[in-house]
Structure 1
Amino acid sequence: MAGQPGMLFFASGEDRNDHYRFLAGCLLTSAAQRMVQGIHKHSDLEIVAANSIRFKSGNPNALSIEMPGEVVGRRLPSREIVLEAFKLYFDYYGDSIFCFFKQHVLMNDLEHGKVPLRLQFCVLALMARFIESCFTIYNGTIEASEHFAALARTSMVNTFDEISLLNMQCNLILCIHWTGHGDEHRAWFQLGVASRIAQSMRLPFEDSFAQDDIASTEIKRRTFWTCFTLDRLMANGGDRRLTFDISSITTKLPGTRSDFLIGRKTSAGTINDEVGTDEPLLAYTVRIIDILGKVVDWSGAGGRHNENRVPWNPQMPISLFEKALDTWERALPSHMCFNEANQEAHAAVGEGKSFCTMHMLFYNARGHLYREYIPVVIPPGWDPGTGPCDGPDLELDNPNPDWWVRAIRNGVSSAVAISTIYKSMTSADLMPLVNPFLGYCLMTSSTFHIWCSLYSWNSCEGLVTGEPVKKLLIDDLRHLIQCQESWPVAAYWVKALRIDFEQNSLVSRHKTFPSPATKALVDIRSKLLHFGQSVEEPEAWKAKTLQLKNPTCKRRTRWSSSRLLTMSC
């Protein structure tokens, strides 16, 4: 035996078994697994399946170990729960930018046991929060999602570095899950893995699909654009910068849902083409998310605080973003403009959620843009229509008072539009709370509502202010509190808004302006650009959670939205 090539040498059989015990523990890595596969022909160790091992001999003292894939496979819930999770995925996300599967194909594969285990766990992690039966089984629906997310991660260990579309899709689904749970670090990490897979597979380039059929091509396109939009939605200009440079992207934008399901060639152009008037809804959505991501990235990196140019300077980023938003809005065909009739029409063809989502993201981008020159806490007696009250001194230029008035009015009207659309989605049973990014839109609208409920500005004459806007604010908070039942990240937003209202209320009553370095103001600013945690605040508000440590379900903690506006730290 000693002379056989490739053999390992052991002083005794006991040493050999000790070695195998150690080796079995190392099988969590693909490299160790390959090592075992290389020696098992010459040993008492047998590879039973891709993820399990046992000894060949009948020795009762021999080690028998099953590896994660085999073990977690037995942790799947009932067939009914798995089927419901996949059905809900298509019900809630089927018309969205986050869907890259053909429903009839995937459901048929699921029926015949062909869906990979890791994908099943990823979908369960995303959807278990909406399955009522999971509440009893797992002590809560949020707990169920966390349970399945842990199993998903375990099932993906051996394929961590696999460059495949499936691995990319699994990481994208988990990115949405972790974002909604307020765990930015993990979400950004999962997205980073997916982004590197996309780049390795050359998915940003249309010529990479040359050998694929129409159906496979569109699945790859949609998977890439999901990755791209999550990159834009997650970037904050600080510890998370934009990954993809659109100037080199040639992959066509996603086509219509019917084209995708039927396998028909898409008429969509590329993101570098001039925005047209006959693009598919998801193509318009990708474009507006790209603009939103650039606005937030610029603002989070310092924005106008790094500039002394006036905002109406044609080369000023805020001016370029303003032009991009106007161009996007003007390019919308009449049937895609937001109104009740168009909302009902899109709902009738199964695109109600995506239609409303597109418009909420547009108003979110516009709100972010025109909020740039407004401090978190408003100084006593200041009107945004008169120009900035902080930041660097602006260059000498011809006065343009109309710009400042238009900016605050656009910001306030965008906030009202966000609240109105979200409420209309709720009334139409379009389930806006299934998408955590729509809750983030409410974060934007609520900041404007707080200011307009406490201050009376001449520049906003004729707009919704005072008591009417306070009702909008209370509605937004009520929706965010409801969002907490499914997405714990909403707890961060609720707390930030409570502190925001509190600080502005103190100033409006006592006319005393806090220091810009006040912790409450720093906390609010950070939450305006974050989904929970960031590298810059590793404690993630753990010091003062106000009983929101586990705010995942209304059954545990009932908050009154009107009471939140009057609570103190």
Structure 2
Amino acid sequence: MVRTTIACARCRKAKIKCVHNGSPPCQSCIKEGSARVIHTCTLTRPVIKRKKLPAAYPSTGIPERGSAEHHATPIPRIERTRSPSSNLHEEIGHKERPNGQQKDFVHRVAKAANVFVIQFPELNFLHLPSFLQDLKHLDDHAVDNVGQQESDNHLAKLKGLCFALLALCAQWCEDKDSTEHYISSARSSLSAVDHPDVFTVQTLLVIAMYEWGCGRTYKAWADSGMAIRSAQLLSALPKQRDITELQSEVLNRTFWACFVMDRLVFCGKPQPLALPLRSVDVHWPIGQRDFAFGQTTSRIYPNVEHGRIIDHAKYHDLDRVYNLIVQGYDVWSKILQWIAGGGRRRPSTRQQIVCPWEPGSIWLSLYDELQEWRGRHEISIRFPDTALEVHASLGQAHSFAYLNLIYHLCRLFLGREYIPFLPTPTSQPSGPVDPPLLAQEAPSGWWEERSYELFASSAHITDILRRLDAAATPFFTPFSGFCAFSAATMNAYVLYFPRMNLGRSTTAAADFNADRAYLDRFRTQWAIGARWWTAIETIQRLLERAGRDQTKFIGKTRTDFLALEAIINHSASSFPSEEETDTHIEPRDHLRDLPVTPRSNSVNEGLATLAGNHSVSEVMSVRNSTQFQQQIQPQVDTMLYYDGNGNEWNAIWPLWEDQIGVSFAPEHAPWDYAANSASML
């Protein structure tokens, strides 16, 4: 007897019972969890082979019923019209038959995926077991005509993610192929599909991270925005009945990756967050162990009151590290928006005249929220309370490092807001020395404690990156580079002005040298690193001259260094056009009494409207000695800088888009930045 049970090819080959309701996919393929297996599940009748009898009639070219040529009969499905994207099957399928070259491609993608999971904890959406399982099927493009379109779309989207991963992780994989070619291929794959899915969102997120590292921040912001909109579209679609717990969590983590990128990549222009936490109705990421095994034991949803996360859980290990990273980014984005939008010099802050230690102050509210988040971390996942090497031995070095980098970066930004931009060699922690000044004396020891936290965090950031390198697990991503740059600014500061930390920063010189060495390597791998390198070299030279010859810098405050402050705070100044760089700038002496405020996003808006603006904005451009104009300049940002010799010049900080490779000092500058340093003294 021949069994005539309807089953899929996978179950038939494994000789197991194929459980289904009469239409694919079957229960076995659903449990497999691989999207490739689910998409290619086709129910067929068995092949019935019979002995071929001698032909009694001349051949008509039509195979006899039941002959060997009569293959498995697929269960009928609704006929679909093939779209132009179906041609992708021939383009990236049949042209790349399983051979040495294709197997090498799959091997490189697998290596890149492993690197991605380790190096980019902020994009923790890749379920490595199922992704590697999908790669195994990448060689097999021979599918039945039935379901051809679904297979082609799946193949194109998977290929797009593969290309994006290869571009982002090329430096770790020693891939000699052009990363720009990979990115171009990834973008082409996105344009070939007819509707987005989770692969589409993930590809856009990886591309955004790559573009940010290349310094093309406008593109990164746009790609991140497209990923967010695609994710929102997916959440608005009807839920699939056959989706597994694993697939649901992959989609959930992809959404939270969009949440992180919304706060990590910004264009330096006033814009609200695309994904405010109060509007989020999905659960927090599940634990790493549950995610690895594709199961969910419990789901916890965000509890937000007055814009602040309410979470009473204590985290003893890194199993829910992605949850902590997401929450940390929410705190970080609030700190960054406040500081980059003017910080303590914002009109609303000046009008209230609220000191940072007083209840109700913006600074104290942000500081308390940061400490609440940190307070949920047990000592075992805190640095320096627990050594990084402990977690390195468990294979968790990068997750541990990332979590602590976020905390110390937040504390660094908050602590830096109230110190003098350019102190004197004898200055000690005592609060701001430039307007707006504080109306009250601080509680005893308050400034000393803030100074300790500030410079301790800069030293801890350096130490984390140093220890990762020593443990043979270096961290070289755009975020780690930004952390190193931020730490370098404060390590250089306390190196030349040690009294600002009461002489407690005994390792400042070694830390600053370590930061410079890190950024020197970093700039060879990421284009944005060249800009940070240029900035830190300028900062060091300025601080060194100011510490050596105080008389040349008497009376100078942060209003004399707007360009330098802009890059330190948010790395978002833009390259001026020829017309604007030719604009005459009046002497600085008339400008010292003007408040430093960010430009509004409307030319006609006054300070009253600007006072309520909490978004990231550009530093104002001073136009004359009696008034300033608030202008919107999508491509430009001219800022003043003082070199210590009475000379004024427009500092052109090449931080954005097409500014890479532009000479630092334009022809019209009063002096050449590249000139011998001796001539500057």
TM class by shorter chain equals 0.7 to 0.9
Deviations 1:108-136 (A, max 9, x none): 211211752212211111122323241xx
**Could you say which residue in structure 1 is the equivalent of 2:571?**
530
- Confirm whether residue 304 of structure 1 aligns to residue 328 of structure 2: no
Match of 1:403 among 419, 422, 446: 446
Match of 1:89 among 109, 113, 124: 113
Distance 1:404 1:241, change over 3 A: farther
CA contact (8 A) 2:498 2:505 kept: no
- Confirm whether residue 346 of structure 1 aligns to residue 391 of structure 2: yes
**Could you say which residue in structure 1 is the equivalent of 2:85?**
50
CA contact (8 A) 1:275 1:328 kept: no
C-alpha displacement at 1:304, in angstroms?
1.0
**Could you say which residue in structure 2 is the equivalent of 1:489?**
528
| Aligned counterparts of 1:368 and 1:400: Cα–Cα separation in 2 | 21
**Could you say which residue in structure 2 is the equivalent of 1:380?**
424
**Could you say which residue in structure 1 is the equivalent of 2:274?**
243
CA contact (8 A) 1:168 1:197 kept: yes
C-alpha displacement at 1:81, in angstroms?
4.3
- Confirm whether residue 294 of structure 1 aligns to residue 331 of structure 2: no
| Aligned counterparts of 2:453 and 2:340: Cα–Cα separation in 1 | 21
Which segment drifts farther, 106-115 or 89-98? 89-98
Deviations 1:467-510 (A, max 9, x none): x3122111111111111232111111111111111122222222
| Aligned counterparts of 2:450 and 2:313: Cα–Cα separation in 1 | 26
| 3-state SS of 2:123 partner | coil
- Confirm whether residue 506 of structure 1 aligns to residue 545 of structure 2: yes
**Could you say which residue in structure 2 is the equivalent of 1:155?**
189
**Could you say which residue in structure 1 is the equivalent of 2:216?**
183
TM-score normalised by length of structure 1: 0.75
CA contact (8 A) 2:384 2:460 kept: no
Q: Rg larger in 1 or in 2?
A: 2
Match of 1:313 among 333, 351, 358: 358
| Aligned counterparts of 1:567 and 1:489: Cα–Cα separation in 2 | 29
**Could you say which residue in structure 1 is the equivalent of 2:166?**
124
Match of 1:277 among 309, 314, 318: 314
Match of 1:452 among 486, 494, 503: 494
**Could you say which residue in structure 2 is the equivalent of 1:253?**
284
**Could you say which residue in structure 2 is the equivalent of 1:430?**
473
| Aligned counterparts of 2:545 and 2:185: Cα–Cα separation in 1 | 47
C-alpha displacement at 1:248, in angstroms?
2.6
Match of 1:326 among 349, 371, 382: 371
C-alpha displacement at 1:198, in angstroms?
2.3
- Pairing of 1:57-76 with structure 2 (within 5 A): none
- Confirm whether residue 412 of structure 1 aligns to residue 412 of structure 2: no
| Aligned counterparts of 1:277 and 1:157: Cα–Cα separation in 2 | 44
CA contact (8 A) 1:489 1:532 kept: no
CA contact (8 A) 1:493 1:527 kept: no
| Aligned counterparts of 1:300 and 1:286: Cα–Cα separation in 2 | 21
C-alpha displacement at 1:293, in angstroms?
1.4
Give the letter for the 2:219 counterpart.
Answer: R
**Could you say which residue in structure 2 is the equivalent of 1:61?**
none
| 3-state SS of 1:255 partner | coil
CA contact (8 A) 1:238 1:301 kept: no
**Could you say which residue in structure 2 is the equivalent of 1:560?**
none
CA contact (8 A) 1:449 1:473 kept: yes
| Aligned counterparts of 1:224 and 1:48: Cα–Cα separation in 2 | 29
| Aligned counterparts of 1:284 and 1:122: Cα–Cα separation in 2 | 26
| Aligned counterparts of 2:196 and 2:534: Cα–Cα separation in 1 | 40
Distance 1:384 1:437, change over 3 A: farther
| Aligned counterparts of 2:365 and 2:210: Cα–Cα separation in 1 | 33
**Could you say which residue in structure 2 is the equivalent of 1:111?**
136
| Aligned counterparts of 1:124 and 1:566: Cα–Cα separation in 2 | 42
| 3-state SS of 2:498 partner | coil
TM-score normalised by length of structure 2: 0.63
Deviations 1:201-250 (A, max 9, x none): 338x9x97998432122101110111111112224764454322112323
CA contact (8 A) 1:291 1:324 kept: yes
CA contact (8 A) 1:271 1:287 kept: no
Match of 1:100 among 125, 135, 142: 125
C-alpha displacement at 1:385, in angstroms?
1.5
| Aligned counterparts of 1:173 and 1:163: Cα–Cα separation in 2 | 15
Alignment gaps of 5+ in structure 2: 1-80, 139-153, 304-309, 576-633, 639-651, 664-673
- Confirm whether residue 480 of structure 1 aligns to residue 524 of structure 2: no
| Aligned counterparts of 1:194 and 1:209: Cα–Cα separation in 2 | 21
Distance 1:217 1:451, change over 3 A: same
Distance 1:183 1:567, change over 3 A: farther
Give the letter for the 2:378 counterpart.
Answer: P
| Aligned counterparts of 2:464 and 2:102: Cα–Cα separation in 1 | 37
| Aligned counterparts of 2:83 and 2:264: Cα–Cα separation in 1 | 44
Give the letter for the 2:548 counterpart.
Answer: R
| Aligned counterparts of 2:132 and 2:459: Cα–Cα separation in 1 | 40
Give the letter for the 1:80 counterpart.
Answer: D
| Aligned counterparts of 2:656 and 2:395: Cα–Cα separation in 1 | 43
| Aligned counterparts of 1:198 and 1:236: Cα–Cα separation in 2 | 20
Which segment drifts farther, 233-242 or 468-477? 233-242
CA contact (8 A) 1:236 1:297 kept: no
Percent pairwise identity: 22
CA contact (8 A) 1:215 1:260 kept: yes
| Aligned counterparts of 2:239 and 2:338: Cα–Cα separation in 1 | 31
Which segment drifts farther, 80-89 or 503-512? 80-89
C-alpha displacement at 1:147, in angstroms?
2.1
| Aligned counterparts of 1:568 and 1:350: Cα–Cα separation in 2 | 51
C-alpha displacement at 1:253, in angstroms?
1.8
CA contact (8 A) 2:573 2:637 kept: no
Aligned-residue RMSD, C-alpha:
3.9
Q: Determine which structure has the larger helix proportion and give its number.
A: 1
Give the letter for the 1:193 counterpart.
Answer: M
**Could you say which residue in structure 1 is the equivalent of 2:41?**
none
Give the letter for the 1:299 counterpart.
Answer: I
CA contact (8 A) 1:222 1:254 kept: yes
CA contact (8 A) 2:419 2:429 kept: no
Give the letter for the 1:530 counterpart.
Answer: S
Give the letter for the 1:454 counterpart.
Answer: Y
Give the letter for the 2:246 counterpart.
Answer: A
Deviations 1:509-559 (A, max 9, x none): 2222357565x64145235312786855479845999x98399xxxxxxxx
| Aligned counterparts of 1:416 and 1:268: Cα–Cα separation in 2 | 37
CA contact (8 A) 2:654 2:660 kept: no
**Could you say which residue in structure 1 is the equivalent of 2:231?**
198
**Could you say which residue in structure 2 is the equivalent of 1:390?**
434
| Aligned counterparts of 1:454 and 1:218: Cα–Cα separation in 2 | 50
Distance 1:73 1:266, change over 3 A: farther
| Aligned counterparts of 1:380 and 1:319: Cα–Cα separation in 2 | 27
C-alpha displacement at 1:428, in angstroms?
1.0
**Could you say which residue in structure 2 is the equivalent of 1:14?**
none
C-alpha displacement at 1:567, in angstroms?
9.6
**Could you say which residue in structure 2 is the equivalent of 1:37?**
none
- Confirm whether residue 262 of structure 1 aligns to residue 293 of structure 2: yes
